Amino acid sequence: MSNPIRIEKAQPGQLRQIVGIINAGATSVRKDREFSDWQDYRAAFDALRSAPECDIYVALNEYNEVVGTFQIHFLKGIAFKGRPRVELESVHVRADRQGAGIGRAMMAHAETLARAANACVIQLTSNREREGSHPFYRKLGYDQSHLGYKKML
């Protein structure tokens, strides 16, 4: 990683940057379904931050700019004696900072959070169009063990 970064829970003043990063990385199924005004995401952001089972994190550079983001969800279940599963969503690194170790640092942070919660597994999905992301996750030890399905509503 060329410059040090900090990973912390996202704050309301960072929403505009978060939305910009997420929408810049939108795949084809989302491109025509998103709003252009970042304020349209405020209610969802506030709900995510206030829910006890999930949160949103940012990676900040030395200038306090958001250079990455991810959402973490702790899911209850019966398997593994009721230990929670962790689902990662919207893992994105700003395009001009990809390859600088930010994604690796965010994933390590998510794993630390998962271990602290005694989670049994971390799971995520990666859109088929994100071919560059798939080797990244495999290098971090993620197995492509399941076949996923989605239905847009």
The predicted pLDDT at position 117 comes to 96
Question: d(Cα 138, Cα 147) in Å, to the nearest integer?
Answer: 15
| Phi, psi values for residue 128, rounded to 5° | -55, -30
Cα 4 to Cα 46, 58, 88: the distances in Å are 28, 14, 23
Q: How far is CA 50 from CA 10, 12, 73, in A?
A: 12, 12, 12
* pLDDT of res. 149: 79
pLDDT at 39 over 80: yes
Helix (H) or strand (E) holding 72: strand 66-75
Of the candidate ranges 12-21, 29-38, 80-89, the one whose mean pLDDT is the lowest = 29-38
What is the mean predicted confidence (pLDDT) over 86-103?
Answer: 94
